Amino acid sequence: MIMTESFLDRTDRRLLRALQRDCNQPLVELADQLSLSRSACSRRVQRLQETGFIRAQVALLDAKRLGLPLTVFIAIKTNQHNERWSKQFQAVVEGLPGILEAHRMGGEVDYLLKAIVADMAGYDALYQQLIAADLFDVSASFVMETLKETTALPLTG
């Protein structure tokens, strides 16, 4: 059974908001923020993990400090709309660590990818690997300035 947002009560939503801000804060501090006992807070976190509301706890790295300052959005059109090509394309995309996101789209563009690379030469190397997937049209847009970037999902209630 898939749990939906209606499964969450107000405290669960507050807990998820706090964890999205900082999942490394000590359980004691988190429980205090929510006016819960440490054991009640721990049980809620565990339940949210078990039911899939919390998929993972990760470290968000600074791409620029790691020498990866260039974000690229790659729009792809294909004239291959079959399962064999789709699986081949997915395998190519999954094998490229510079691609952070890949989305199959509705509309004029078939796929939209988000990649992070060191520079134009890094993008060109990624592009050369990507076109191995037999693409019809590829265009790229390069991020000049990021106005907003978050991983926090909007939680209502």
Domain boundaries, the chain: 8-50, 70-142
Q: pLDDT tens digit string along 88-126?
A: 999 999 999 999 999 999 999 999 999 999 999 999 999
- Architecture field, domain 8-50: Orthogonal Bundle (1.10)
The CATH fold assigned to 70-142 is: Alpha-Beta Plaits (3.30.70)
Same fold, 8-50 and 70-142: no
Cross-sheet strand order for the sheet of 137-142: 99-104, 111-117, 70-77, 137-142
Q: pLDDT tens digit string along 64-94?
A: 999 999 999 999 999 888 999 999 999 999 9
What pLDDT is attached to residue 134? 81
